[in-house]
Amino acid sequence: MATLAKNYHLAVAYFTNRYPRATDTFIQREVAYLRLRGLDVNTYSVRRSGSEHDVSESIREEKRRTRYLLPARPLALIVENLSALLRSPLRYVRVLHLALRTARPGLRGLALQIAYFQEAVLLASRLRSDGIKHLHNHLGDNSGTVALLAGELAQVSYSITFHGPHIFFDPTHWALQEKVRYARFIVCISHYCRSQMMLFSDAADWGKLKIVRCGVDTRRLSPVATRTRAEKLLYTGRLSVEKGLSVLFESLKALSDAGRDFELTLVGDGVDRDRLEVLARELRIDRYLVFAGYRSQEEVGEYLGRSDIFILPSFAEGVPVSLMEAMVAGVPVVATNVGGVAELVESERTGLLVPPADSAALAQAIARYQDDHELRRRVASQGRERVIQQYNIEIEGQKLLDLFSTLGNLPSV
């Protein structure tokens, strides 16, 4: 990166809908790595994340240095639109047309797309004033639409990191074909993700689809000892329906009925928390559960150090960073075989895989771990090695840096 920095100054914008959040540590880690290597990374977001996400000083500092589009004063928005129109009437009309033709059918879809266009006008203005040469978006949903439009308005190149899986459920709504067509490159976090993007884009654009995995700092978490008894269970992530926690609760009910001892800690929060607390009481497993809420990365590491089994019972996933962190900490994992999970968790080798929505299979996998100390020790060791070799921020960050380095000769706009 020293050579890169000496040859030219490349100002890159990172943009998402809400940033930073306690749940998007993979983005924060990526930004920190790129800055450390000398890239000038400016962070922008549509909205400020809530105070519940301020779980560490690093997040609070990142929030202070991020520029937010909303709220925007109506008069300022009118001025920005007039400025963009006068600067290049044809470009303004062309990008507005792009926004309208990629809108979801119906009045609501049209209204949302007009709102995204207004956000793009604001973002494009900031990109110009800050001298940004390239815009990068994570997730690709509504903020990806804003990035597409803003890049065209500001005449800067843009790229998107797609994670999935929710965005693949409605590819037309999210205009995946157009986003790939206009992008300089597209980052896919897994082979599964790349295959889905190939399915929803033109074959002529497949060369833009680059695999760069999410990476973790493998030096931050030391492997924990594999204890003889395996009673401390851990889940980290959002408390939302797609995470399959209701199925996990059913499996815990079966384990409780079988007389097994355990305690499950749930680190994270979300819209499903109240419902899950009610369900736990209905199943009479609430005494085995601890709802810990959002926690800092340091605290997550402490929870991992006290855990014997990590569980991710999701209905849909990309390649979860929470699994990577558990594996690099030496905690044996059990996960559902969805999305790109099998690229990380190889059943019987780096963890255990079970079918999604199968509470009996999940209960059986947990019980098997509890009964087989050697299995836990073996998969913990091999799982940690898998992450170190294939999901290391030093390796994956360099791949992303190499992609950005190809943009260095872009002319100033």
The SS3 call for residue 279 is: helix
pLDDT bucket at 222, cuts 50 / 70 / 90: confident
pLDDT tens column, 37-80: 989 999 999 999 998 998 899 999 999 999 999 999 999 999 99
pLDDT bucket at 23, cuts 50 / 70 / 90: confident
Please report the pLDDT score of residue 373 as a whole number.
Answer: 97
Asked if residue 412 has pLDDT above 90, the reply is no
Q: Is 196 exposed, middle or buried (0-12, 13-18, 19+ CB in 10 A)?
A: buried
pLDDT tens column, 169-207: 999 889 999 999 999 999 999 999 999 999 999 999 999
Is 27:19 a contact under the CB 8 Å cutoff? yes
Of all residues in the chain, what percent carry a pLDDT higher than 70? 96
Domains and CATH numbers, the chain: 2-215+393-405 (3.40.50.2000), 232-390 (3.40.50.2000)
Q: What is the average per-residue pLDDT within 107-133?
A: 96
pTM higher than the cut 0.75: yes
Tell me the residue type at 366.
I
What whole-number distance in Å separates Cα of residue 184 and Cα of residue 180?
Answer: 8
Asked if residue 22 has pLDDT above 60, the reply is yes
pLDDT bucket at 381, cuts 50 / 70 / 90: very high
pLDDT bucket at 408, cuts 50 / 70 / 90: low
Asked if residue 413 has pLDDT above 70, the reply is no
DSSP string, 26-71: HHHHHHHHHHHTT-EEEEEEEEPPPGGG--SHHHHHHHHH-EE--S
Q: What is the average per-residue pLDDT within 300-311?
A: 97
Report long-range pairs for 204-209 (Cβ below 8 Å, ≥24 apart): 205/180, 205/181, 208/180, 208/183, 208/184, 209/180, 209/185
Please report the pLDDT score of residue 411 as a whole number.
Answer: 35
Asked if residue 4 has pLDDT above 90, the reply is no
What whole-number distance in Å separates Cα of residue 193 and Cα of residue 47?
Answer: 27
Q: What is the DSSP letter of 259?
A: T
Q: What is the average per-residue pLDDT within 11-32?
A: 94
Query: What's the whole-number average pLDDT of the chain?
Result: 94
pLDDT tens column, 382-401: 999 999 999 999 999 999 99
Asked if residue 21 has pLDDT above 50, the reply is yes
DSSP string, 280-337: HHHHT-GGGEEEEE---HHHHHHHHHT-SEEEE--SS-SS-HHHHHHHHTT--EEEE-
pLDDT bucket at 164, cuts 50 / 70 / 90: confident
Is 266:298 a contact under the CB 8 Å cutoff? no
Please report the pLDDT score of residue 9 as a whole number.
Answer: 62
